[in-house]
Structure 1
């Protein structure tokens, strides 16, 4: 793990469709099915000195399907399972907003909602980041647009073994 305050590269993972299988509005740990190679990918990045950060749009909060507390609890559980598998996620960022949200407080085109780069910029502000080696892995073009806007490389994950894909990303930098 990079020391606090140390300059380190960062990998941003979208959550649903990258670390875990896409399930509409997942908010409980029993809904999470990890993609093949997820633990190995995160463990590899940890061992290489990367900070690992999850950046995820969670419009289900704004739509009233679940709460921000549900998201926080899920992320604690996901990191617990990562730890049981020798891996660590350094931080989770989520955007509960959506321009057509049912819950008025979340009905906004917020800077954190991808394709805007707010979550990535907040993570880079919180952790000293070596930009040239940092990148994002997402499963949608909006993820890649957020990466570009934040000034980091973006890679489109179309499924398969996430650890093998991380290897390809590292080789391409």
Structure 2
């Protein structure tokens, strides 16, 4: 089985400008290419797991998202990074697009995307890692059985957040991507 390096997209791979559905609005976070390369060198399989409620809200389509991520993969390849699997949740209960305005098991903090990736890519979740900029990323990882996460945020972890995950889940609070490499 493989160990995965799960990454949220908006706020981890790219600057979160809010509902980024087109390449012209996509701005990479400093250090993301070197971090993914480093994780690959340590035999982690990079996998993006991202909530994309902009699809449910009608701000961009699934086709727009897929086209954007194809260009992102080209940029990854140009920077020496191998194939990065992408799992996304297009759902949101308050969406404007009826077929996506549903409750689902894939929208973080639910673990559906990670569980699906594990089944399809032969991933050992217990030995995988999650990096996210929202506590819902950390909760999803915990629910999936991932035992190590990085919380990329300038806001401290609150006691209520700490209580929302299992005691076996190690969460490292980091302010930038370079700090992840130091602990990884």
Superposed pair shares fold, TM > 0.5? yes
Partner of 2:142: 148
In 1, Cα distance between equivalents of 2:182 and 2:142:
19
In 2, Cα distance between equivalents of 1:24 and 1:140:
14
Shift of 1:48: 1.5
1:62 aligns with 2:56: yes
1:166 aligns with 2:180: yes
Where does the alignment leave 5 or more consecutive residues of structure 1 unmatched?
Answer: 1-6
Query: Contact conserved, 2:118 with 2:124, CA < 8 A, in 1?
Result: no
Where does the alignment leave 5 or more consecutive residues of structure 2 unmatched?
Answer: 155-174
Shift of 1:89: 4.3
Q: Deviations over 1:64-94 (max 9, x none)?
A: 1110011111111111101111113430011
1:46 aligns with 2:20: no
In 2, Cα distance between equivalents of 1:89 and 1:161:
24
Compute the RMSD of aligned alpha carbons. 1.4
TM, length-normalised to structure 1: 0.89
Partner of 1:110: 104
TM, length-normalised to structure 2: 0.84
1:16 aligns with 2:30: no
Shift of 1:130: 2.8
Q: Which of the pair has the greater relative contact order for Cα pairs under 8 Å at 6+ separation? A: 1
Query: Contact conserved, 1:35 with 1:161, CA < 8 A, in 2?
Result: no
In 1, Cα distance between equivalents of 2:183 and 2:145:
16
Query: Contact conserved, 1:42 with 1:88, CA < 8 A, in 2?
Result: no
